Structure 1
C-alpha cells in the first residue's frame, strides 16, 4: 500500500507559487523544445495521487503516459531497486553480464503472446525498441521496406519519426527521415470514409492495395502496428481487422511487429493488447509500464528471428540496466499477484459506464473508445458534426488541471482525451476524477 493519502487536496491555485517559481527556473536551464503539459513540480507520489511542492494532492489520470501502472514508488519496486543500487548500478551487460537481464528476458519470453520459442533483447526506450525491431526484421528477411499506418506514433529517433504520422510537434523541421517507410490507411471506425460498418473490410483492402501497388509484398520486411493506437488518438480498430492483417502478413512472409509500448503490461485488460484478437506477433516491442517508472524497453520475438542478427549487432551501453531490471521483475510480480489485468477490466467498467452516460448527454462527445484502463473520448463540434474540436479539448484540459486532475490529450487533430490511471488507484479517487472531468466539460462547453 502507498504511504500517500488517496485524497485530492488543493492548498493553492494550480500551479501554485512554488511551482511557478520553479518553472521560471526551468525556462532558463532546459531547452524550450522540452514541453510541459502541466507545470506543477512533484515531490511525492503513490497510488493515484501526485503531491506537488505547494502541498497540493492531484489526482493522476496519466500515469506518466502509461508508465506507472503499478503506482509511483510501489514498495516492492522500491525495495528491489534499493537492494540493487546497494550491490551495483552498472557493468554493461555486453561487458560483464548479470542475472537480472536474463531474468527479465525469461519473463518476457513467457508472457508475450505465443507458445513458440522466443528470445528478448533489452534497451532504454520505446523508440529504441521499435528501431531495433525494424533492424531485426530487415536483417532476418533480407527485405528493406516497412509498412506503418496513418495516425501512428512510434518514437522520436530518425527512423521512428519516419514511422510516426503526426508532423507537429514530432517531425516538424527534423527531416530528412529514414527511407523505405510506407504508410497505409488506419482502420479508424469513427472517421472511415465508408462509415464504421464498412471500416474493417475496406481498411483491410486499402492496406493490401497499398502494400501491393506501392511497395510489393516481396520487398516488405515488416508491418509495424499498435494494436490500439496511442498518441494518434487511442484508435481501436474494428474486431477482426488486426487478425486479418496478421494472417495476410504470414501468408506473404512479412513480419508483424506489434508495438505494445503503451498497450502492454495489463493496461488493456490483457498482458498485451494483441491477445484480445488472438494475434501472435513475430516481434513485440515493450517499454513504459514494464519497470514501475524506471527506463527499460525490450524486443521479444521468435527465436529464429532474434538469433539471426550477428553477435554484437544488438545492444547499447545502458540497455537492460541492472537497476531497471530489478524494478521490472518487482513490477511484474505485482502485476501477477494483484491480478492487474483484472483490475484494468474493473476500471474499464467504471469508466465506460460514466463516459457513455456523458456521451448520451453531450453531443460534443463524438466517440467513446478504448479497452481496460486505456480509454478515451473524442470531442467534436457536435449535433452530428464530427469536425474535430481541439479548442474545446484544450479548454476542458485546462479546467481539469486547475481543479487538481492531471489529464492528457492526444490525437492527430488534438481533440482526444485519454484516460490512463494507475491500476492501483482506488475507485473513489477515479470516480472523483470523472466528476471533475464532467464539470470541466460542462463549463467549457458553455463557454464555447
Structure 2
C-alpha cells in the first residue's frame, strides 16, 4: 500500500522494484519543480541502477511508495539523468536552505522535506522539517525543530552566503566512498565544493580517491594549503602522489612541505618513479613482517579495520628494516595459506616459492600480466638490491588499464539509451523518441 506522506531523507537508499519483484536500483534523490502559488510538484526520482548510472524515473511510473521500497511499472529509461532548468533536487539542493518562518518571525534551516500524494499518481511537497536558529543558549547547542507547510515559509537568500551542506552530508553518511563520490559529481559545481568543504578530512580523502583526477584537482584547488595538506595526509600514498603529480610544481611542493614528514616522504618516494611502471603504480604501505612472525600475529595484522582488502590478501616477509625500502625481500604469505596452519607456525616457513617479485622499473603491462597469469590481487615490488619498496594491487592495475573516463557512468551521453522493460526482461527494438516529460508518463 502506498503511503500518503513520505520524508525524502528516508527515501535515500530505498530499493526500487519492478512489478515482478526484481530489484531495479535504489533512490538517490527526488526531483521537484516550483509552482507560483502551490507547493513544489514532484516530477520524479533519481534512481541509481547497476553500473552506478543515475537515471530519471518519472513519478507517473511509480505505483507505490512505502514500507521502505518503491514499486514501478517496470519500464525505466536508462539514459543518464540530466537536470533540467527549473528542476530542483531535494536532497542535493533543498536540504540545508535557510527559510524565514512567517508566523514565528524567525529563521530556520530545512532539515527534511515531506512529499505527499495530492491526487492519484501526483505528489507535491507537503511539510518541511525545519530547525530554528538558536536565539538563546542551549546545553545541546541546537535550536528547536518545527514542522511547517510550504506556504508558511519564505526562502531566504543572502548575497555571498553559501547554502549549508551539513544536512546533505548527514543524508550521505552511510554511503561508501565510491557512492559518495558519484553523488557529489552529480551535484552542481558550487554545491559539490560546499559539500567537500564540510566533509571531515579523512572522509574527503576517501572520496577523492574515487574521483577522476580532474575533479580531484578542482576540489583541491578550492582548499587552502593547510587543509589540502591534511587531506593528502589521509590519502593512500600512491593516490596522493598521483594527485600531486596533476598539480603545478609550485603547489605540489608547497603541499609536500606542509604534510606530515613521514607521509610526505612516502609520496616523494613514489613521485620518483615513472607513472607507467610498477614503482609508479605501487603503494608503500603493505603489511611487512619478519620470518619469525607467527600465523596468529599475521592474522591479527590482517584484521585491522583500516586495511584495504587487497593489502590484506598477503603479507610480505623481509629482513630488517621493515619499512620500505626494507631489508632483503624473502617472500609473500597468502592469508588463505595462513588459515591452514596452526597459530604458532612461523611465516618464514609458509612463503610462496612460486611468486617472483617485479622490479620497480618494470612496465605496468608486465605487472598486469603477472596478476592475471597467477590469479593474484597484489604483487611485491623490489629495487635493484632486492629490497621491498612496495606492492602493486589489482585496483591500481585496473585503474591503469581502464580508459581515463572509466569512473564516469556515461561514457557516451550523446547516444540515446534504449528503455529497458524490467518487467519482461526484454529490450524493445525501437528507442524512445520522447523529447519532453509529461506528468502522466514521466518520459524525458
User: Smaller-chain TM-score range?
Assistant: under 0.3
Higher relative contact order (CA 8 A, sep 6+): 1
Structure 1 or 2: more strand by fraction: 2
TM-score for the superposition, normalised by structure 2:
0.22
User: If you compute each CA radius of gyration, which structure gives the higher value, 1 or 2?
Assistant: 2
Structure 1 or 2: more helix by fraction: 1
